[in-house]
Chains A and B, each alone.
Chain A
Amino acid sequence: MNTAMVIARNTISEALRKKILNAFLMVGVVLIALTFIFQQFAPRQELTLVKGMGLGIISLAGLFITVILCINLVPTEVERRTIYTILAKPVRRYEFLLGKFFGALGTLGINIGLMGLAFVIAVAVKQIGAENAVSPLILFKGILMIAMQMLLLAALAMFFSTFLTPLVNFFLTMVLFVIGNLSSYTLDLAKNSQVAIVKYVLLGVHYVVPNFGNFQYTNPLLQPDVVVKNEMLFLTQNCAYAVAYATALMVLAILVFDRREV
Chain B
Amino acid sequence: MAAAIEITNLTKQYPVPMKREVVNAVDNLTLTVGEGEIFGFLGANGAGKTTTIKILLGLIYATSGDANVLGAPAGDIAVKHKISYLPESPYFYEHMTAREIVTFYAQLFGMHREDAKKKADQLVDFVGLGGKSDVNKPVSEFSKGMRQRVGIAQSLINDPTLLFYDEPTSGLDAIARRDIRDLMLELKRQGKTMFLSSHQLEDVELVCHRASIIHKGKLQVLGTMDELLGGERVEVKLENTPADLAAKLTADGAIRTGDVLTASVLREEVGSVIDAARVGKASVVSVVPMKRRLEDIFVEIVGGRLDKVSGSLISTGDRPLINNETSSANPYKEIAK
- Find out whether the CB atom of A87 lies under 8 angstroms from the CB atom of B58: yes
- Find out whether the CB atom of A261 lies under 8 angstroms from the CB atom of B59: yes
Q: Looking across the interface, which residue of chain B has its beta carbon closest to that of A79? A: B91
Residues of chain B with a CB closer than 8 A to A10's CB: 93, 104
Residues of chain A with a CB closer than 8 A to B58's CB: 87
B60 at the interface (CB under 8 A from A): yes
Of A3, A7, A87, which one neighbours B110 at CB under 8 angstroms? A3
Q: Known contacts being A259-B61, A261-B59, A261-B60, is A89 close to B105, with CB within 8 Å?
A: yes
Binds A, one of B74-82, B181-189, B229-237, B280-288: B74-82
- Find out whether the CB atom of B104 lies under 8 angstroms from the CB atom of A6: yes
- Find out whether the CB atom of B84 lies under 8 angstroms from the CB atom of A262: no
B262 at the interface (CB under 8 A from A): no
Report the Cα distance A33→B48, complex, angstroms: 58
The distance from the CB of A51 to the nearest CB of chain B, in whole angstroms, is 37
- Find out whether the CB atom of B77 lies under 8 angstroms from the CB atom of A90: yes
The distance from the CB of A119 to the nearest CB of chain B, in whole angstroms, is 29
Report the Cα distance A10→B60, complex, angstroms: 25
A248 at the interface (CB under 8 A from B): no
B57 at the interface (CB under 8 A from A): yes
The distance from the CB of A12 to the nearest CB of chain B, in whole angstroms, is 12
Report the Cα distance A45→B83, complex, angstroms: 66
Q: Mark B54-66, 1 if CB is under 8 A from A, else 0.
A: 1001111100000
Of B84, B108, B154, which one neighbours A91 at CB under 8 angstroms? B108
- Find out whether the CB atom of A14 lies under 8 angstroms from the CB atom of B104: no
> Between A and B, how many residue pairs show CB distances below 8 Å?
68
- Find out whether the CB atom of B61 lies under 8 angstroms from the CB atom of A17: no
Q: Considering the complex, which residues of chain B in the window 83-120 have a beta carbon less than 8 Å from any beta carbon of chain A?
A: 83-85, 87, 90-93, 95, 104-105, 107-110
Report the Cα distance A10→B108, complex, angstroms: 11
The distance from the CB of B241 to the nearest CB of chain A, in whole angstroms, is 60
Residues of chain B with a CB closer than 8 A to A91's CB: 80, 108
- Find out whether the CB atom of A6 lies under 8 angstroms from the CB atom of B59: no
Report the Cα distance A17→B93, complex, angstroms: 11
Residues of chain B with a CB closer than 8 A to A261's CB: 54, 59-61
Report the Cα distance A86→B83, complex, angstroms: 12
The distance from the CB of B90 to the nearest CB of chain A, in whole angstroms, is 6
- Find out whether the CB atom of B80 lies under 8 angstroms from the CB atom of A88: yes
- Find out whether the CB atom of B93 lies under 8 angstroms from the CB atom of A14: yes
Report the Cα distance A4→B80, complex, angstroms: 16
Residues of chain A with a CB closer than 8 A to B92's CB: 82, 85
Q: Mark A224-257, 1 if CB is under 8 A from B, else 0.
A: 0000000000000000000000000000000000
A81 at the interface (CB under 8 A from B): yes
- Find out whether the CB atom of A88 lies under 8 angstroms from the CB atom of B91: no
Q: Known contacts being A82-B92, A261-B59, is A90 close to B87, with CB within 8 Å?
A: no
Q: Considering the complex, which residues of chain B in the window 145-162 have a beta carbon less than 8 Å from any beta carbon of chain A?
A: 151, 154
The distance from the CB of B170 to the nearest CB of chain A, in whole angstroms, is 14
* Most chain A CB within a 10 A radius of its CB, from B81, B104, B108: B108
- Find out whether the CB atom of B77 lies under 8 angstroms from the CB atom of A85: no
Q: Looking across the interface, which residue of chain B has its beta carbon closest to that of A262? A: B59
Residues of chain B with a CB closer than 8 A to A86's CB: 105, 108
- Find out whether the CB atom of A90 lies under 8 angstroms from the CB atom of B91: no
Q: Mark A75-116, 1 if CB is under 8 A from B, else 0.
A: 000001110111111111000000000000000000000000
Q: Known contacts being A82-B92, A82-B93, A92-B77, is A87 close to B57, with CB within 8 Å?
A: yes
The distance from the CB of A257 to the nearest CB of chain B, in whole angstroms, is 12
- Find out whether the CB atom of A85 lies under 8 angstroms from the CB atom of B80: no
Q: Known contacts being A2-B110, A10-B104, A81-B87, is A88 close to B59, with CB within 8 Å?
A: yes
- Find out whether the CB atom of A84 lies under 8 angstroms from the CB atom of B108: no
Report the Cα distance A87→B164, complex, angstroms: 13
* Nearest 7 CB-CB pairings of A with B: A88-B85, A90-B80, A261-B60, A89-B108, A6-B107, A80-B91, A84-B87
| Chain B residues close to A by CB (< 8 Å) | 54, 57-61, 77-78, 80-81, 83-85, 87, 90-93, 95, 104-105, 107-110, 151, 154, 164
A and B contact pairs by CB, cutoff 8 A, 16 listed? A2-B110, A3-B108, A6-B107, A6-B108, A10-B104, A14-B95, A82-B92, A84-B54, A85-B154, A87-B57, A88-B57, A89-B108, A89-B109, A90-B77, A90-B110, A262-B59
